[in-house]
């Protein structure tokens, strides 16, 4: 089985912001070591909207 992680810090040839898949054990170690985090996706597979200010609506 494999898990995807998104890097927070440089690690080997990966840069912050990149997402890659690893074995369950390696992914867990990367997240536990705060080198990576679990990708921000919803069940549908669509990326989550960023928290914070809502997008400006376009008036008509």
The rounded distance, in Å, linking the Cα atoms of 7 and 44 is: 22
CA 48 to chain CA centroid, Å, is 10
Name the band, by pLDDT with cuts 50, 70 and 90, for residue 1: confident
Q: What is the pLDDT of residue 42?
A: 46
pLDDT tens by residue, 11-47 = 999 999 999 999 999 999 999 999 999 998 644 455 5
Answer positive or negative: Cα dihedral of 21, 25, 26, 30.
positive
| Burial class, 30, CB count within 10 angstroms (exposed 0-12 / middle 13-18 / buried 19+) | buried
Confidence (pTM): 0.65
């Amino acid at each position: 089985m494999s898990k995807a992680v998104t890097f927070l810090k440089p690690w080997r040839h990966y840069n912050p912001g990149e997402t890659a898949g690893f074995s369950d054990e390696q992914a867990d170690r990367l997240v536990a070591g705060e080198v990576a985090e679990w990708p921000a996706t919803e069940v549908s597979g669509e990326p989550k909207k960023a928290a914070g200010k809502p997008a400006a609506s376009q008036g008509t």
